[in-house]
Amino acid sequence: METATLHQNYLLSPSPNSSSLLPLPSFSHRSLHFSPFPSSLSLKLVKGGLSSNALQAVSPFRPDAAVSDICSETTELADIDWDSLGFAYVPTDYMYTMKCARGGIFSKGELQRFGNIELNPSAGVLNYGQGLFEGLKAYRKEDGNILLFRPEENALRMKIGAERMCMPSPTVEQFVEAVKATVLANKRWVPPPGKGSLYIRPLLIGTGAVLGVAPAPEYTFLIYVSPVGNYFKEGVAPINLIVEHELHRATPGGTGGVKTIGNYAAVLKAQSIAKAKGYSDVLYLDCVHKKYLEEVSSCNIFVVKDNVISTPAIKGTILPGITRKSVIDVARSQGFQVEERLVVVDELLDADEVFCTGTAVVVSPVGSITYKGKRVSYEEGGFGAVSQQLYTALTRLQMGLTEDKMNWTVGLN
């Protein structure tokens, strides 16, 4: 068995039911253990950081091959139509998993071939919805290098959500390093510059068997990725929302402020009805007074009036979006007044602009909002001046087209 030096407590191995393997990644300054036979191939990493030039290809079928001989195998892009990307699932090469017993700590994560996972029918996530997810993106720069956007913020949000859901969670360092490893293992799926991004979906789920209502005895942290384009079919054209005043997304004291999986199942009914009527999505009101804006199904909402930007304050029923937080910081850095407060639904009637923010949508202009049968239209055919300025500033930063004075991006060279 051949060995080189590695520095991370991860394990890379093929799925046991994989009939064929793509070239497995190699990490500089890490120890690679493999045999000439694919069935016994594994990559073990011991504690340390990911190198800036980590992940080049080492073929399991060529254990004697030099990295430089086959590096080109991983730099080639996947053979798909990059111009037709939407926001839909596209299977990629590798996923990351790491397990933890209740009361324990996560350790010994592994990259393995992407595929189905097995769950006990009595798993906590299946029976009682004990699960969280995150969403972030990787972008390919013009020079071919890859950027992540604020991954430590997703790690922190998962930790907060895990505490609310009685689950252990990876450390911020474990989360970020796992994201890096997963993206680099799927590097060929990061779209070319300007063609989209690699959407990264970390999951934290109760996989241990439990019959009575109680926290699961075991948990799995899993990351998979998929190349994506625009979230809404309209692309960056204005979307059309309808205000929902009977069904509600979240309640005070509930889980609306964390990214638990059940929050999204709760919006499906209203969203399906709205889309059947031709709307893009649903804007929810608070469930107590039924007059204060909360959020859209999967993104936060902003209202612009006289160059003052207002957005609902985070008070436990609204997800603290990372794009929301970033847009607020960018807007203030550009001299805008931003107010986080209670926003009454009637303010939509005379707003100058309305826009949504989220990892999937980034910044999406709202063309119209319908409330109790009354439709209010905003910018026709595109962004308003404020949302366009914020969209441009944020996306240029995410894609590495402008200097990152915020220190938000993480480079994977």
Residues with catalytic function: 259
CA 154 to chain centroid, in Å, comes to 8
Euclidean distance between CA atoms 19 and 263, whole angstroms: 37
Give the residue from 294, 284, 329 showing the smallest Cα distance to 315. 294
Buried b (16+ CB within 10 A) or exposed e, 164-177: ebebbbbebebbbb
In degrees, rounded to 5, the angle at the alpha carbon of residue 167 between the alpha carbons of residues 164 and 169 is 105
Euclidean distance between CA atoms 271 and 177, whole angstroms: 35
Q: What would the two tokens of residue 384 be? A: 């308003």
Buried b (16+ CB within 10 A) or exposed e, 96-109: bbbbbebeeebeeb
In degrees, rounded to 5, the angle at the alpha carbon of residue 280 between the alpha carbons of residues 278 and 284 is 115
Euclidean distance between CA atoms 250 and 265, whole angstroms: 11
Q: What would the two tokens of residue 398 be? A: 């995410």
Give the residue from 358, 99, 58 showing the smallest Cα distance to 228. 358
Euclidean distance between CA atoms 235 and 86, whole angstroms: 9
SS3 270: helix
